[in-house]
Amino acid sequence: MKKTISILLASTALIAVIGIPAWSAMYGAGQFEGQHDAALGAFQAPGASPVLVSEDDGEDRDHERRLRRGDDDHEGDQEDDDDGGNASGPAPAGSVAPPSNGLFGTGAMPKVQVN
Amino acid sequence: MRTILAALALTTALTLPGIAMARPVTLTTTLKNYGGNGAYLAIYVTDPTGAYAGSLWMAGTKSKYYEHLSDWYRATGGNAAEINGITGASVGAGRRLEITLDLADALFDAGYTVHIDAAAEDMRDSPDEITVPLTAKGAGQPVPGRRYIADFSYGL
């Protein structure tokens, strides 16, 4: 009996040692609300209300804006976007772990396929 | 020996659910044959209040075009840190993009919503082309897009 209890205690301690850091990695930066605050804080003045991503649920959001290759305000950029990014652009998938935004369970690399 | 095995099985059974807090989710986006060049797509999530929660994928690597993904851009300011490690090439007309990500379980059935903004060269921008709640029940159900996206679905 003593042996069983000591095994239980040992395995529980082991799980705690493994589990607590894993839990902290996911939730350590705060629960989702905390992360939102942190993310939004970068783009908003203190005390401002959160930015709603879309204020209009209508089907007829008519956007005249168009993406043109000529809209070039960054001299020296290449026109082909399949070149793996540029100095000021984001790091391509596979080169670094996904951001720690609370959406990703682990730091596992995304898998992508285009057919 | 038997008691040791039983004890180990019990502790493992009790602790595994706590550790398994994420699951692989495949996001599938099929584009229409809209007759233009590759589309830029921003796939991101909002929380139950409608506030931006984070990005899942960016198709298109040139940051100068991100302003055309207007809802995403408004929420993030085009900050590249939001999409480091989750950015790939733009997607051609008629092609299907499949992304498998390890997503937190807490996103499902909790009021979180996936959005996709789309834009293609010399064509109209299409913010919020897809809006779909993240629920276990909604998995595998294709949702039609408005302008460039034929349909979008997520599989658990």
Give a three-class secondary structure readout of chain B: CHHHHHHHHHHHHHHHHHHCCEEEEEEEEEECCCCCCCEEEEEEEECCCCEEEEEEEEECCCHHHHHHCHHHHHHHCCCHHHCCCCEECCECCCCEEEEEEEEEHHHCCCCCEEEEEEEEECCECEEEEEEEECCCCCCCCCEECCCCEEEEEEEC
Sign of CA dihedral A96, A99, A104, A110: negative
Q: Which residues of B touch A39 (CB under 8 A)?
A: 52-54, 82
What is the pLDDT, as a whole number, of residue A19? 52
Out of A53, A88, A98, name the one closest to residue B75 (CB).
A53
The band of A84, judged by pLDDT with boundaries at 50, 70 and 90, is very low
Q: Between residues A83 and A43, which one has the greater pLDDT?
A: A83
| Smallest Cα distance from A94 to chain B, Å | 6
What is the pLDDT, as a whole number, of residue A107? 78
| Smallest Cα distance from B138 to chain A, Å | 18
User: Could you give the residue ranges of the DSSP H alpha helices within A28-66?
Assistant: 32-41
What is the pLDDT, as a whole number, of residue A89? 85
Substitution target in B28, B101, B125, B132 with the highest count of A β-carbons within 10 Å is B101
Query: Is residue A8 in some structural domain?
Result: yes
CA distance A102 to B130: 22
Which range (B9-18, B60-69, B89-98) has the least confidence?
A: B9-18
What domains can you pick out in chain B, each with its CATH number? 21-155 (2.60.40)
Q: Which residues of B touch A54 (CB under 8 A)?
A: 50, 71, 115, 127-128, 131
Query: Is residue A61 in some structural domain?
Result: no
The band of B65, judged by pLDDT with boundaries at 50, 70 and 90, is very high
Query: Is residue A30 in some structural domain?
Result: yes
What is the pLDDT, as a whole number, of residue A13? 65
The CA angle A23-A28-B113, to the nearest 5 degrees, is 85
Instruction: Work out the percent of chain A whose per-residue pLDDT is above 90.
Output: 19
Out of B55, B64, B124, name the one closest to residue A73 (CB).
B64
For residue B71, pLDDT over 60 is answered with yes
Query: Is residue A63 in some structural domain?
Result: no
Q: Do the chains contact at A81 and B61, CB–CB below 8 Å?
A: yes
Substitution target in A18, A44, A114 with the highest count of B β-carbons within 10 Å is A114
| Smallest Cα distance from B153 to chain A, Å | 15
Number of domains in chain A: 1
For residue A104, pLDDT over 80 is answered with yes
Substitution target in B63, B86, B107 with the highest count of A β-carbons within 10 Å is B86
- Return the amino acid letter for B147: R
Q: Between residues B50 and A87, which one has the greater pLDDT?
A: B50
CA distance A64 to B136: 36
What is the pLDDT, as a whole number, of residue A109? 92
Q: Do the chains contact at A90 and B87, CB–CB below 8 Å?
A: yes
Q: Do the chains contact at A67 and B80, CB–CB below 8 Å?
A: no
Query: Is residue A21 in some structural domain?
Result: yes
What is the pLDDT, as a whole number, of residue A46? 44
Q: Do the chains contact at A89 and B61, CB–CB below 8 Å?
A: yes
Query: Is residue A35 in some structural domain?
Result: yes
Out of A7, A39, A74, name the one closest to residue B64 (CB).
A74
Q: pLDDT averaged over chain B?
A: 90
pLDDT digits (tens, 9 = 90+) for B86-121: 999 999 999 999 999 999 999 999 999 999 999 999
pLDDT digits (tens, 9 = 90+) for A12-59: 666 655 554 444 444 433 333 334 333 333 334 444 445 555 555 444
Q: Between residues A10 and B51, which one has the greater pLDDT?
A: B51
Instruction: Work out the percent of chain B whose per-residue pLDDT is above 90.
Output: 85
Neighbours of B40 (CB within 10 A): 27
Q: Do the chains contact at B102 and A104, CB–CB below 8 Å?
A: yes
Please report the number of interchain residue pairs, chain A to chain B, with beta-carbon separation below 8 angstroms.
244
What is the pLDDT, as a whole number, of residue A18? 54
Most confident of A40-44, A74-78, A104-108, B139-143: B139-143
Which range (A49-53, A73-77, A89-93, B14-18) has the least confidence?
A: A73-77
Query: Is residue A106 in some structural domain?
Result: no
- In terms of residue numbers, what domain contains A31? 2-41
